[in-house]
Amino acid sequence: MKILAIETSCDETAIALIDAKGGLKKPSFKILKNLVSSQIEIHRPFGGVVPNLAKREHLKNLPLLFDKIVKDQRSKIKDVSLIAVTAGPGLEPALWTGINFATDLYKKLRIKNKELRIIGASHLEGHLYSFFLNSKFNPPAGGLNSKSLFPAIALIISGGHTILIKMDSSVKYKKIGETCDDAVGEAFDKVARLLELPYPGGPEIEKLAKLGNPDAVNFPRPMINQKNYDFSFSGLKTSVLYYLRDNKDFKKEDVAASFQKAAFDVLIKKTLRAAEEFNVKSIFISGGVAANKTLQKKFRTIIKNKMPNIKFFAPSKKFCTDNATMIAAVGYINYLQGKKRKLVANGNLSL
Ligand code: KG4
Ligand code: ZN
């Protein structure tokens, strides 16, 4: 089944064309084209994403990316049987550009292809399913509903979300905790701004932290010992603010490394506690912050030492940050489930 997917929820305009097969038990995805046009340079002077600029850029980039796909994959476009487009969560003006573009395209392509369908997709389910796209594990050994993978704990860590999920199968899952205030990626972006690093802050902090001492400053680890699966990162960011105000001789590298360590300690501790409580077989992490190699390494090492029977999956970098391939995966899985999501932008769509 050929699927064309469109993602415009934030500051990346993305279109992908994939070939999906295998059904719900063993879905697998062949990526024919995965295009992402980043707007980072446009938003950088503002230190964050400006919704109206994002909308303007999506409107400009969508036809350009689609033309590229047509040029490259003309023969395959006419075989597309499903269009999937992100309906939320995200910036509503940005989401509408994708939905409108997808709807117009659907109307055009449907003239010759009466079987064509269109489906709205959740961006968060996209991150949740992005581990299926990892080239090394596509599909994860043994198939997706296999007894060797589930139950699992999934941690979505992005610029807008920090969510822990218990998965009984690829389609049966439940949110067990989330952030009460800032998302972890948002904390990285805000701390980066305090350190006068460019937007987006995550990759900059990761780079700088490699040169610093993670034990230089003992920043708080909010909610780490609470017996729930919720998070809080706004107090941690404020501690960094106070530290910078009260200490004039700090080394930026040390602050970056110590902040990163505090944030990751909380993420890892709570994820592993959930893994233990629910006796899971795998842990998946996804979203922009999951691209952080220091975090991946920490998870991998601690799981290997403490819970060697648990499998750990993190998507490759291009599938951690926003992309449309993950939206195509949601389209396929939702289509197989018979799940239909309205083509209406919903900025607060929850998992
Ligand atoms: O998933 P994503 O691309 O977009 C959202 O859905 O939000 O995540 C973007 C977030 C940003 O906050 C960015 O700073 C963070 O992910 N990020 C990172 C890294 N790469 C991106 N955070 C820490 N380390 C990284 N290497
Ligand atoms: Zn995202």
**What's the pLDDT tens digit per position in 228-260?**
999 999 999 999 999 999 998 999 999 999 999
Of the listed ranges 138-147, 162-171, 182-191, 210-219, the least confidently predicted one is 138-147
Distance in angstroms (rounded) separating the CA atoms of residues 197 and 259: 14
Ligand 1 binding pocket includes 212 (Cβ within 6 Å)? no
CB of 291 closer than 6 angstroms to any ligand 1 atom: yes
Please tell me which residue, 261 or 39, carries the higher pLDDT value: 261
How much is the pLDDT for 152? Answer: 95
Per the model's pLDDT, the better-predicted residue between 87 and 76 turns out to be 87
Q: Around ion ligand 2, which residues have CB less than 5 A away? A: 158, 322
Q: What is the distance in A from the centroid of ligand 2 to the CA of 11?
A: 10
User: Phi/psi at 229 (nearest 5 deg)?
Assistant: -110, 25
Centre of ligand 1 from the C-alpha of residue 301, in Å: 22
Please work out whether the CB of residue 323 comes within 6 Å of at least one atom of ligand 1.
no
Q: Is 103 buried (19+), middle (13-18) or exposed (0-12) by CB count in 10 A?
A: middle
The mean pLDDT of the chain is 93
What residue's CA is closest to ligand 1, atom 19?
A: 202
Q: For residue 144, what pLDDT is reported?
A: 58
Q: Are 31 and 336 in contact (CB under 8 A)?
A: no
Give 274's contacts (C-beta < 8 A, 6+ positions apart).
153, 164, 166, 176, 177, 229, 280
Atom 10 in ligand 1: which residue has the minimum CA distance?
Answer: 159
Q: Tell the residue nearest (CA) to atom 2 of ligand 1.
A: 288
88 lines ligand 1 (CB under 6 A): no
pLDDT at residue 265 is higher than 70: yes
Separation CA 314–CA 222 (nearest Å): 24
pLDDT band at 172; cut points 50, 70, 90: very high
> What is the structure's pLDDT at 22?
87
H/E stretch holding 157 reads strand 152-157
Mean pLDDT across the stretch 12-28? 90
- Could you tell me if the CB of 10 is within 6 A of ligand 1? yes
Q: Which pLDDT score, from 0 to 100, does residue 269 have?
A: 97
C-alpha 138 to ligand 2 mean position (Å): 20
Q: Which residue has the higher pLDDT, 48 or 190?
A: 190
| pTM summary value | 0.94
pLDDT band at 140 (very low <50, low <70, confident <90, very high): low
Give the residue, 74 or 18, on which the prediction is more confident.
Answer: 18
The band of 143, judged by pLDDT with boundaries at 50, 70 and 90, is: low
